[in-house]
Amino acid sequence: GNSVTQMEGPVTLSEEAFLTINCTYTATGYPSLFWYVQYPGEGLQLLLKATKADDKGSNKGFEATYRKETTSFHLEKGSVQVSDSAVYFCALPDQTGANNLFFGTGTRLTVIP
């Protein structure tokens, strides 16, 4: 099946720093790719997605570009805030056409003032 490998954390940044969380995927074909975020004490929320190669997903200042050449979907934000402190998960369908998702191990981000 498909899988993702996600940058291990934890990551600690100062407010307004630049964020990159790496995610690479292994897949048959070109499945949709997702980033989910889990704020402390809450469930998973879809942060952004890209449904085909070269697409850029964006939301709340976060961006990720679906790059088939490098099989990557790295999450970036130019200036992080304390409120961005959360665990970030890269995900994709377990198999082409499947409805269940395979999640990466998650990267914990802590932003300090």
Partner 1 sequence: EPEVTQTPSHQVTQMGQEVILRCVPISNHLYFYWYRQILGQKVEFLVSFYNNEISEKSEIFDDQFSVERPDGSNFTLKIRSTKLEDSAMYFCASSTQGGYGYTFGSGTRLTVV
- Give the residues lining the site for partner 1 (CB under 8 A): 31-32, 34, 36, 42-46, 49, 51, 89, 93-94, 97-106
Nearest distance from C-beta of residue 33 to partner 1, angstroms: 10
Task: Tell which phi-psi region holds residue 64, choosing left (phi > 0), alpha (psi between -120 and 50) or beta.
Answer: beta
DSSP one-letter code for 4: E
CB of 18 to partner 1, least distance (A): 26
Cis peptide before 10 (omega within 30 of 0): yes
Q: Which is nearer to partner 1, 9 or 17 (CB)?
A: 9
Question: By C-beta, is 14 or 26 nearer to partner 1?
Answer: 26
User: Closest CB to partner 1 among 51 and 79?
Assistant: 51
Distance CA 111, CA 54 (A): 29
| Residue 77 CB, nearest approach to partner 1 (Å) | 19
Amino acid identity of residue 95, one-letter, is Q
- Rounded to an integer, what distance in angstroms lies between the CA atom of residue 4 and that of residue 2? 7
CB of 113 to partner 1, least distance (A): 25
